[in-house]
Amino acid sequence: MLWQSARPLLRVAFVLLSVSATVATRAVAAEQTPLTIATGVPGGTSLAVGNAICRLFNLAEERRSNPCLATISHGSVANVQRVRRGDVTLGLVQSDVVYAAYRGTGAFAATGPDADLRVVLALHTEALAVIVRAGAGITRFEDLRHRRISVGRIGASYAVIRNDLLAAYGWSTKDFARSLELGPTEQNRALCDKQVDAIMFEAAQPNGFVQDVTIGCSARLLPLSGPAIADLLVTHPYYVASRIPGGMYDGNLDDVTTFGTQVLLVAPARQSDALSYAVAKAVAENFADFRRLHPALFPLKIADLVPSGAVAPLHPGSRRYFQSAGLLPRPPGQEPDVE
C-alpha cells in the first residue's frame, strides 16, 4: 500500500526529471551549435577570410563551446539566400549584392526586399582591374572605345560593376569593336595572344590571374579615375575607392587608382546582439593578427571594419561594440560598456 500511494509522487518526479534532462540536453546542444559562415569556393579569398574570422572567434576563451566554422558556398547571392533561410549564421557578401538584397532589386527582384538583413563587419575590397595589352597604345579608360575587350564572364554580381562603369562614361558594350564574355583563364590567353586589347577582372588583390597575365605578356593595369569615377562613387554607395599598390604586379611600378565592392559580413536582424558583438570584438581586438592571415586583409585599417550604413543597417550588437571601442560615436547619455 505504501508503494502504491507513493507511485503518483514518483511519476511526477520522473516527469520532472525527464523535463529537466531534456532542457539540459537542449541547452548543451544550443551552447555547442556551431557558428557557421557562408564564404565562397575552395581556394578563394572569401573562404580564407571566413576561416580567419573563425580562427580569432574560436580563440576567445568564452566561445570555445560554440565553435565557428567557415563553409564553402556558391558566392554572394547564394550566401544572402542561406542567411535569409537560416541555413547559416553569417555570410560573406559583396556590398552591391547586399544593397540589392536589402532593397529587393537586381537578382532579388523576384523574392523582394530583405528588410531584416544587417551588416556585422566591413572587410576587404574586391577591386576592379582593367588590364591592357602592352603596346596597345591605351593609357586611359576612354582609349578603350572602339577597341576589342573581354568584359569578363557574366554573373549576377559581376555584371553590375561592369555595367555601372560603362554607364558612368555613357557607354554600353556596343561601344567596343569587339566584346567577349570570357572566364579569367580564357581572357588572359586572349590578351596575351592579341585577340583583345583589354580585359576586366574584379577580385581581391593580390590576385593570381592578374599576376599571371602581367608576368605572361607584360600587361598593364589601367587607372580608373576622374570625374566619371567620382560621380559613380557618389551615385552608387555600394562601391568604394580602391588602390592597387605599385609593385604588387610585375611591370606595374606605380599605384593604380580604381574602385570596387567591399566584402561585408552579414547576419539576419534576429541574430543575437551578443553574438554580433563577440564577432566584431574578436576581429577588432586581434586586428594585427587578422591582417596577417591573408594578403587581401593587409591593407585594412581598423576603422575600415565599421560599415558605412549606406548599403544596409549595422547590426545592433556590432554597433554596440564599435561604440564601446571608440570606433563609432556613442549616443548622448549612453553608459560605457562593461563587457
Q: What structural domains and CATH numbers belong to the chain? A: 34-124+262-324 (3.40.190.10), 126-261 (3.40.190.10)
- Count the residues in the chain: 339
Handedness of CA 239, 243, 248, 251 (dihedral sign): positive
Strand segments (E) across 103-216: 117-132, 148-150, 178-180, 198-204
The DSSP annotation for 309-336 comes to: SSSSPBPHHHHHHHHHTTSSPPPTTPPP
Element (H, E) at 221: strand 220-222
Total-model pTM: 0.86
> pLDDT at position 8, please?
44
- As a whole number of angstroms, the distance between CA 108 and CA 76 comes to 12
Residues of the chain with pLDDT under 70: 1-32, 61-65, 154-158, 332-339
Cα separation, 179 vs 35, whole angstroms: 43
Q: Can you give the pLDDT at residue 130? A: 96
3-class secondary structure per residue, 242-274:
EEECCCCECCECCCEEEEEEEEEEEEECCCCHH
pLDDT tens-digit series, residues 123-177: 999 999 999 999 999 999 999 999 999 998 765 456 788 899 999 999 999 999 9
How many Cα atoms occupy the beta-carbon half-sphere of 269 within 13 Å? 7
Nearest to 128 by CA among 48, 207, 195: 207
CA pair distance 172, 174, nearest whole angstrom: 5
CA separation for the pair 301, 48 (Å, rounded): 19
Is-contact 334 297, C-beta < 8 A? no
What pLDDT score was predicted for residue 64?
A: 60
**Amino acid identity, position 296:** A
Q: What are phi and psi of 293, to 5 degrees?
A: -80, -15
* Amino acid at residue number 7: R
Using the Cα atoms of residue 244, residue 37, residue 50 and residue 59 in order, give the sign of their dihedral: positive
Which run of H or E residues covers position 71?
strand 68-71
Can you state the angle between helices 45-59 and 273-284, rounded to 10 degrees?
100
Average pLDDT, the chain: 88
- Note the pLDDT tens digit of each residue in 201-220: 899 999 999 999 999 999 99
Paired strand residues for 170 = none
Residues 6+ apart with CB under 8 A from 88: 36, 37, 38, 71, 79, 82
